[in-house]
Amino acid sequence: MSRKFAKNVSTSERIVSVALGSYLLYQSLRTIRHRPFIKLGTAGYLLARGIGGYCPVNRWMGKKGTHNPAINIQTIVTVNKPRFEVYGYWRKLSNLPNFMAHLLKVEELSDKRSHWLARMPGTSGTIEWEAEIVKDEPGYLIGWQSVSGSPVENAGKVQLYDAPGRLGTEVRVVFSYHPPAGGLGTGVAKLLNPFFKRVIEEEIRNFKRVMEADLVSPNASST
């Protein structure tokens, strides 16, 4: 007689597990001739964890487990535009999909709160969450984080400085995200971190191109 285990993985963790598992499965099948077994095994575990809602590691730990430290991605670019113009464009969060390819839509619900819709890596699926502005220093700093209970736990900030010689604006961007709980989650995050880093760096370069090519419409900046 088979033994049934109660679900011990939260809905948000299950969504993230399926997303990461799908991506790793896609990557391992693409490189099937080059020792994909670690990624393939990890993908299978994450998919089972996400679909079934049960994690033996959580059970052994008595679930609640421990929270993994955030994985941080930082990139810097100089944009040949005045600091307040750069701030105004980024502060209007609905502009972000214009240069961030992984974002399908950001809808501003209020001055501080927004709804985000993004593509899952390596799949045709999407994921959505709400975030709020937690720091806002006009012309200098924008900081945001996902709200409590969101399926995606992340945060980010943009810091703006006058470039040397006042030749444009130095834009420093930091993104932070938390992997699924447990040691395996940390390992998966390390595997995916180079991928996410390349994505973020390319998207910030897109931001520079959009700003400097004067592709910004008159209504694109916050007032």
Give the C-alpha separation, 43 to 52, whole Å. Answer: 14
CATH number, domain of 157, equals: 3.30.530.20
Asked if residue 76 and residue 163 are part of one domain, the reply reads yes
Task: Write the pLDDT tens digit of every residue in 152-194.
Answer: 778 899 999 999 887 899 999 998 876 555 444 455 555 555 6
Task: Give domain status of residue 147, yes or no.
Answer: yes
- Number of domains making up the chain: 2
Tell me the CA distances in angstroms from 82 to 14, 139, 160, 167, 220, one per residue in order: 43, 9, 10, 8, 15
DSSP, res 223: -
DSSP, res 122: T
Task: Give domain status of residue 150, yes or no.
Answer: yes
pTM flag (> 0.95): no
pLDDT for 149 equals 80
Asked if residue 206 and residue 170 are part of one domain, the reply reads yes
Domain with 46, as residue range(s), is 11-60
Give the C-alpha separation, 34 to 148, whole Å. Answer: 40
Task: Give domain status of residue 218, yes or no.
Answer: no
